[in-house]
């Protein structure tokens, strides 16, 4: 199932925050992504209703299996593409921004080819 780029970004952010802090709440996502509280609230409701995340009574957010699968895929793409662009001589800040855009549109075939030919 294909989900929107924004949902992929939210899932990736939840994964990164869980790895960093072990505990994620909506306010953490607001602070990390710089979005408004209402926007994050709507996004979390949509992700919850579609079975990508679970939200406890205290507001703790955890990735469910299908949400984690997408988040890990996007994060792997982001990490590899960033390193690859930096290795090609792209400024790290620009590489990070470009990787964030590329990670969503790059075909699996192209990503696998890049993965095969990198040493990361």
Domain ranges of the chain: 5-69, 72-116
CATH match of 72-116 with 1.10.60.10: yes
The HSE-up count of residue 78 (CA atoms within 13 Å, CB side) is: 20
Please say whether the beta carbons of 17 and 33 come within 8 A: no
Distance from C-alpha of 78 to C-alpha of 30, rounded to nearest angstrom: 20
Fold topology of 5-69: Arc Repressor Mutant, subunit A (1.10.10)
pTM of the model: 0.89
- 119 to each of 46, 81, 87, how far by Cα in Å? 38, 12, 10
Can you give the pLDDT of all 120 residues of the chain as single tens digits?
468 999 999 999 999 999 999 899 999 999 999 999 999 999 999 999 999 999 999 999 999 999 999 999 999 999 999 999 999 999 999 999 999 999 999 999 999 999 898 876
37: left (phi over 0), alpha (psi -120 to 50) or beta: alpha
């Amino acid at each position: 199932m294909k989900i929107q780029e924004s949902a992929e970004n939210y899932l990736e952010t939840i994964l990164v925050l869980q790895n960093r802090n072990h505990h994620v709440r909506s306010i953490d996502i607001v602070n990390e992504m710089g979005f408004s509280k209402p926007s994050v609230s709507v996004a979390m409701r949509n992700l919850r209703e579609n079975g990508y995340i679970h939200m406890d009574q205290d507001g703790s957010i955890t990735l469910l299996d299908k949400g984690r699968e997408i988040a890990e895929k996007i994060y792997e793409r982001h990490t590899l593409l960033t390193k690859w662009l930096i290795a090609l001589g792209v400024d790290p800040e620009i590489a990070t921004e470009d990787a964030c855009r590329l990670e969503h549109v790059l075909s699996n075939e192209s990503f696998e080819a890049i993965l095969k030919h990198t040493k990361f």
